[in-house]
Amino acid sequence: MSYDVVLFDFDHTLLDSDASLAGAFEQSMRSAGVVDAAAIAGHYADFDRINQALWRQVEAQQISPNDVKVRRFEQLIEVLELDADAHEMADAFVEGLVACGELFDGAIDLLDDLAARSRLGMVTNGIGRVQRGRLARLGLSDHFDAVVISGEVGASKPGPAIFDVTFEAMGVSDRSSVLMVGDSLPSDILGAANAGIASAWFNPMGHQANPDIPATHEVRDLPEISPLV
């Protein structure tokens, strides 16, 4: 099966988001007056737990991505008993997210290869300022026919509405010609199923598959996407 349209997730699929998050967290903690590197590293697990729980609420359509921006720091300040301002920490974190993190090896080569024979789109759960800032810094803004960000359109994966926005923006009428590439089963792969399109699960760590959320394809490395298209 060949695909005329390939949609990509961004975080943890094309972008090394772990490095981006760690760098941004350091900036946010320094803005709160915590400058000891060991202390910052020691608190990251608390932040990661809070952050992941909030993004699961986004996937469950319970809150919006924009709600996550400040709420994660309100909760972190309470847990760590910091004398800090959540909005200031959130602003520093956003700046860090834009400035930190690089693409996975092979990402640019894959996009260039696919662009020669397919139309490319991005469907990402995130905050518009962050995602568009990252795309600009990494030189990716012009690689996609459409970039649809949940925080801008008011709909998130795995719901079908964000895909409907993407299809309209790209003029897609035949959903059988569309492939969604992403790392998250409950967001990207379930979202693709809800939208009635094929999916490729990017699973570099070899995580256990979930039979309740089957992917059309599974790959361990980004270059494995190319033969599917």
Whether residue 97 contacts residue 15, with contact meaning beta carbons closer than 8 Å, is answered with no
11 is catalytic: yes
Whether residue 178 contacts residue 172, with contact meaning beta carbons closer than 8 Å, is answered with yes
Name the active-site residue from 11, 46, 174, 183.
11
Secondary structure (DSSP) of 152-188: HHT--TTSSHHHHHHHHHHT---GGGEEEEES-IIII
Name the active-site residue from 9, 109, 164, 174.
9
DSSP-derived 3-state class of residue 197 = coil
Q: Per residue in 206-220, is it b (16+ CB within 10 Å) or e — as a string?
A: eeeeeeebebbbebe
Whether residue 68 contacts residue 51, with contact meaning beta carbons closer than 8 Å, is answered with yes
3-state helix, strand, coil in the chain (%, to 5): 55, 15, 35
48 is catalytic: no
Question: What amino acid positions are annotated as catalytic residues?
Answer: 9, 11
